[in-house]
Amino acid sequence: MADIKTDILVIGAGSGGLSVASGAAQMGADVVLLEGHEMGGDCLNFGCVPSKALIASAKAAYGQAHAAPYGVDNVAPSVDYAAAKDHVHDVIATIAPHDSQERFEGLGVKVIRDYGQFISPTEVKAGETTIRARRIVIATGSSPFVPPIPGLEDVPFETNETLFDLREKPEHLLVIGGGPIGMEMAQAHLRLGCKVTVIEGDKALGKDDPEAAAVVLDHLRNEGLEIIEGAAAAQVRGEAGAIEVETKDGRVFKGSHLLMAVGRKPNIDRLNLDAAGIKTTKAGITVDAALKTSNSKVYAIGDVAGGLQFTHVAGFHAGIVIRSAVLGLPAKASTAHLPWTTYTDPELAQVGLTEAQARKEHGAKLEVARAEYDGNDRAIAARKTTGFVKVMVVGGRPVGATIVGAQAGELIHTWALALANNLKMKHISAMVAPYPTLGEINKRAAGAYFTPRLFESDGVKRVVRLVQRWLP
């Protein structure tokens, strides 16, 4: 049995853990990194990267079948599902060296490929090795949550951890769960030639702005996606190639394959957190504003911390921890400026408060500025005119923004920057966007905020008339 003493122990080599390990090591700290599964974590191997690669394949197929509006003949795409999965794995393999054990060892990190469990408040055992650390960072992420639906244990099903290894194109994919993962994969498979039915117990995309979600859902239904809402799964039965999902209202949906996409659960079971005095809830490890657990020597970041479950949030958390645990400086993690995107077509992006949240928090002080895609020349040229930008403004400052439409995930950057730096609408309005770009929609939304103040104000008109009278 080996004993190791270190400055920083990072448990989990996903996005957040890798960011802490690389940053701390390059700043001169002694760092040990534990990973019992895949380097790169869920994002690289089972989440963000493979899903966006498959979406790219699906977009290519859809483009072939819908080229006529651009003066190009429609062609029925010949989809090789296994080749699309080869594309997915090639993308993963291209990115993997950046997250590899070899790279991190080159940065000076001691990498141990094993799971860890606490044996005391400052010690973790991994295999035959015991690591004592001055500070410990838990970055173990989350896994697919599989609800206890009767019969499910006897029926083959996919999750995001198995879907990208599936080589046989599903004839009819049943998706339980209408959140971002479920809807992204549903549309991708529809465009790759599968029949797809989404079964959602409540509202599809129910955590997003309802007006924006409706734009996405209407488009998906028009593409041919069957979306069943208010239909909680009560029983699953069948076998490979012939699966049935019965809902609580007695309806039965039949398909060849089943994807479970109902949410995530924190990866905490292996950690023996009680030995370290670390408190948890169903959502994950309890942390304070500095991301410290109930054990002040231990931090938790990313999905396992029970907040927003996005790769970029884990990266943001890593910066907070480096500031605190490595540099000894005060640092707190605010979530008010953190954006997210659902990568359906059209995309749906959000930062800060939704309209409903802003109305509840700010009441009559709230003003909503908006601009439509169909008023943007680049959107018209690309025939991507479905969507809008909606900005929630209080006292001249944006407190939230919702974007639905083409490249919404790119356009949300402007408002994420504004919220992160406490900018005002005048700063966005002063921006000069190149013409013609979709980014002009953001500037137009800012302009819409000032329109009633400039063009509908009797006071402004009186001043202008006076100025015009006295100008030489």
pLDDT digits (tens, 9 = 90+) for 38-47: 999 999 999 9
- Range(s) of the chain covered by CATH 3.30.390.30: 339-455
**Encoded tokens for 464:** 């202008």
- Joined together, the tokens standing for residue 174 give 């049943």
**292 in a labelled binding site:** no
Binding residue per annotation — 153?
no
Q: Is 180 annotated as a binding residue?
A: yes
The answer to whether 182 is a known ligand-binding residue is yes
Spell out the per-residue pLDDT of the chain, length 472, in tens: 579 999 999 999 999 999 999 999 999 999 999 999 999 999 999 999 999 999 999 999 999 999 999 999 999 999 999 999 999 999 999 999 999 999 999 999 999 999 999 999 999 999 999 999 999 999 999 999 999 999 999 999 999 999 999 999 999 999 999 999 999 999 999 999 999 999 999 999 999 999 999 999 999 999 999 999 999 999 999 999 999 999 999 999 999 999 999 999 999 999 999 999 999 999 999 999 999 999 999 999 999 999 888 999 999 999 999 999 999 999 988 888 999 999 999 999 999 999 999 999 999 999 999 999 999 999 999 999 999 999 999 999 999 999 999 999 999 999 999 999 999 999 999 999 999 999 999 999 999 999 887 767 777 778 878 888 888 8
- How high is the pLDDT of residue 1? 54
Are 200 and 178 in contact by the 8 Å Cβ rule? The answer is: yes
181 is in an annotated binding site: yes
Regarding the domain delimited by 339-455, which CATH topology (the fold level of the hierarchy) does it fall under? Enolase-like; domain 1 (3.30.390)
Locate 139 and state its tokens: 């970055």
Nearest to 443 by CA among 427, 466, 458: 427
Q: Give the span between the Cα atoms of 161 and 144, in whole angstroms.
A: 8
149 among annotated binding-site residues: no
141 assigned binding-site residue: yes
First-residue to last-residue Cα distance in the chain: 91
CB-facing half-sphere around the CA of 421: CA atoms within 13 A:
11
Asked if residue 177 belongs to a known ligand binding site, the reply is yes
Domain with CATH 3.50.50.60 in the chain: 2-39+100-143+265-326, 152-262
Inter-CA distances, 75 with 72, 187, 190, 305, Å: 9, 19, 16, 47
179 annotated ligand binder: yes
What is the three-class DSSP state of 242? strand
Dihedral (CA of 15, 207, 172, 226) sign: negative
CATH number (3.40.50.1000, 3.40.50.720, 3.50.50.60, 2.40.30.10) of 2-39+100-143+265-326 reads 3.50.50.60
The reply to whether 307 sits in an annotated binding site is no
pTM for the whole structure: 0.94
Q: Do 266 and 302 touch, CB atoms closer than 8 A?
A: no
Closest by Cα among 407, 397, 396, 393 to 440: 407
Run of H or E residues at 82: helix 81-95
Pick the CATH number of 152-262 from 2.40.10.220, 3.30.420.40, 3.40.50.10490, 3.50.50.60: 3.50.50.60
* Backbone torsion region of residue 117, taken as left when φ is above 0, otherwise alpha when ψ lies between -120 and 50, otherwise beta: beta
Distance, CA of 33 to CA of 139 (rounded, Å): 10
